Structure formats: C-alpha cells, structure tokens
Amino acid sequence: MAARLAPVAKFLIKGGLAGAAVYVAYDQGLLGSGTQGAEALKKAQAALPPVIQEWTSYLGWELPPTPKFDFSPSDSWNKGVQSVMSALSVAPTRACEYTVEGWKYVKDLVK
C-alpha cells in the first residue's frame, strides 16, 4: 500500500512545486503584458540593492555601492546614432587636417 502511494505522493509534491513556481511567476506579472513586465523589472531594480546590502553586511563583506541600472535603451541608442552621425559629418574636415599635419611632420623629418 505504502509502496504504491509513494510514487503518487512524489508526483503530487513535484507537481505542486512546479505549479507554485508557475503561479508565483504569474502573480508577479512576469507572464503578462509588456507594461506589466516593465513594471516587474522596475520593482526588481528597486528591491535588489537593499537585499545585496543586507546580505553583504550579514556575511561581513565590503562591496562597492551597486551601480544604478536605470537607463533607457532608446535614449542610449539615439545618443549613439547622434554621436556617430556628428563624427561622420566632421570626418572629411578632420581627415584633411590630419593629412596636412602628417605631411608637415614628414617634411620636417626629411629636412
């Protein structure tokens, strides 16, 4: 009787653990819409540094302060595009200047 019940009990415990994991993920908004996912990430970013601080103080480690991860990918991308475009726009002028300087340096060497 017990031998037959053991696999069933094992399966029920495993199923319960897996179901609980899925439910927690759903409850935290990890499996919902894009807005919910972004909110969940913001909550995690806000909650992580105090937890790290608490654990490091409990273990007695000295860590530098955690850097802030709050950045906007679209802003960073746009800034990168602007930097690249402004560099490309001044590239011919700079190339001329460096060529003139290089030519002058070589002429001075040859003298």
Q: Which positions lie near another protein, rule CB under 8 A?
A: 14, 17-18, 21-22, 25, 30-31, 33-35, 37-38, 40-42, 72-75, 77-78
Minimum distance from residue 56 beta carbon to another protein (Å): 23
With residue 100 as reference, give the H or E element that holds it: helix 73-110
Residue 75 or 108 with smaller CB distance to another protein: 75
Minimum distance from residue 92 beta carbon to another protein (Å): 29
Residue 31 or 95 with smaller CB distance to another protein: 31
Minimum distance from residue 49 beta carbon to another protein (Å): 18
Residue 77 or 103 with smaller CB distance to another protein: 77
Those residues whose C-beta lies under 8 Å from the C-beta of residue 48, and which sit 6 or more positions away, are 66
**Does residue 36 contact residue 29 with C-beta atoms inside 8 Å?**
yes
Minimum distance from residue 53 beta carbon to another protein (Å): 22
Burial class (CB in 10 A: 0-12, 13-18, 19+), 49: middle
Residue type, position 20, single letter: A
In angstroms, the CA 26 to CA 30 distance is 6
Residue 67 or 73 with smaller CB distance to another protein: 73
